Amino acid sequence: MKSRPGQSAPFRARSLVLLVVTALAALAPLPRWAIERWYSNGFYAAIQPAITFVSNNVPFALFDALLISVSAAFVVIGARDLFGSSKLRGTARILARTAVWGAALYLALLVVWGFNYRRERLADRLPFDASAVNQAAVARLASAAVERLNALHPLAHAEGWTRASVVDPSLAGAFERVLRLTGASGRVVAGRPKHTIFDWYFRRAGVSGMIDPYFLESLVAGDLLPVERPFVIAHEWGHLAGLADEGEANVVGWFVCLQATPASQYSGWLFMTRRRSARCPPPTAWPWHPASALVRAPTCVPSAIASRPV
């Protein structure tokens, strides 16, 4: 379709404004305290419950629908550009559209969730003694993890595991309580676990889950073992609470599991066992190596768990 005179100039002006605003949003040195106060505990805290409530009531991943529709539109319009005018002009339009659409998607991601990357760290907001993190503490934690796994094994397996696609009320209640402990004031709606068309990639890349930064959904891998699921879901809920940092989401996810049912506690301690054993130095460096205690655990840690980053 040929543009009429006067239509392209406003479009170019709007595109230019979008590119400039996106560049400013990406590069402007916004202070962490301002993000914490006005974005994470202000705008984001206000929109998250509504967005996740809506996406929870859709049976499929809205993230998939967004990516499929944007990709299809991009291909169709790009093909029209290439075959409707000269190759050079068509290519230039595709490149310009790539920049504009990319900027729009990036800006939307930043506004809906991404500014949480720049909020204050959890360790700066809560009492934290860095000197307490030492080898002896790690060894005690590893030992406690193995003891808890042994104690919880019969209870957890007798209780059974929550279905993959529902919000576990016990885990959601624990999530609320743990958020209060971190100083969160507003309510965070827990995301219903969903699978995605990217499951094939998740399985092969060893990805356990992610949150959808546009519709604030909890997307989890289809091959998660039941024992893995509570911790992975609680971890993704940590992201929904505005904790962008992986370590912070792990901490919150772990505490959430420990506040929930024995099955969820088992999942949390299983995660901690893997983490602690991965952080411990080789046996020759220590007179006693906590990993050796793992053999006492009544359940083996499948290699799928051991190799998968969360």
> Of the two residues 223 and 246, which places its CB atom closer to Zn ion in the complex?
246
Calpha distance 249→247 (Å, rounded): 5
DSSP state of 164: T
> Of the two residues 55 and 208, which places its CB atom closer to Zn ion in the complex?
208
Q: What's the CA angle centered on 154, arms 306 and 250, to 5 degrees?
A: 40
Identify whether the C-beta of residue 196 lies closer than 8 Å to the C-beta of residue 67. no
> Of the two residues 100 and 249, which places its CB atom closer to Zn ion in the complex?
249
Per-position x/- string for 46-85, each x denoting binding to Zn ion as judged by CB under 5 A, each - no binding:
----------------------------------------
CB of 207 to Zn ion, least distance (A): 9
> Of the two residues 219 and 249, which places its CB atom closer to Zn ion in the complex?
249
Listed ranges 25-33, 212-220, 243-251, 255-263: which one lies at the site for Zn ion (CB under 5 A)? 243-251
Total Cβ atoms within 10 A of residue 20: 11
For the chain, where are the alpha helices, taking DSSP H only?
Answer: 8-27, 32-34, 44-56, 62-84, 87-112, 122-125, 135-159, 169-181, 199-205, 229-240, 246-258, 262-279, 303-306
Calpha distance 87→122 (Å, rounded): 52
> Of the two residues 179 and 249, which places its CB atom closer to Zn ion in the complex?
249
Listed ranges 34-42, 83-91, 169-177, 244-252: which one lies at the site for Zn ion (CB under 5 A)? 244-252
> Of the two residues 146 and 251, which places its CB atom closer to Zn ion in the complex?
251
Per-position x/- string for 246-285, each x denoting binding to Zn ion as judged by CB under 5 A, each - no binding:
x--x------------------------------------
> Of the two residues 249 and 270, which places its CB atom closer to Zn ion in the complex?
249
Beta bridge partners of 218: 193, 211
Identify whether the C-beta of residue 222 lies closer than 8 Å to the C-beta of residue 89. no
CB of 66 to Zn ion, least distance (A): 20
Total Cβ atoms within 10 A of residue 9: 10
Identify whether the C-beta of residue 283 lies closer than 8 Å to the C-beta of residue 291. yes
Q: What's the CA angle centered on 235, arms 271 and 220, to 5 degrees?
A: 95
CB of 224 to Zn ion, least distance (A): 14
CB of 110 to Zn ion, least distance (A): 18
CB of 251 to Zn ion, least distance (A): 12
- How many residues touch Zn ion under the rule CB under 5 A: the total is 2
Total Cβ atoms within 10 A of residue 90: 17
User: 240 burial class (0-12, 13-18, 19+ CB within 10 angstroms)?
Assistant: buried
Per-position x/- string for 193-222, each x denoting binding to Zn ion as judged by CB under 5 A, each - no binding:
------------------------------
> Of the two residues 124 and 246, which places its CB atom closer to Zn ion in the complex?
246
Give backbone dihedrals phi and psi of 161, rounded to 5 degrees, phi first.
Answer: -120, 145
Residues 7-36 interacting with Zn ion (rule: CB under 5 A)? none
CB of 249 to Zn ion, least distance (A): 5
CB of 262 to Zn ion, least distance (A): 24
Listed ranges 31-39, 46-54, 240-248, 269-277: which one lies at the site for Zn ion (CB under 5 A)? 240-248
> Of the two residues 35 and 249, which places its CB atom closer to Zn ion in the complex?
249
Residues contributing to the site for Zn ion (CB under 5 A): 246, 249
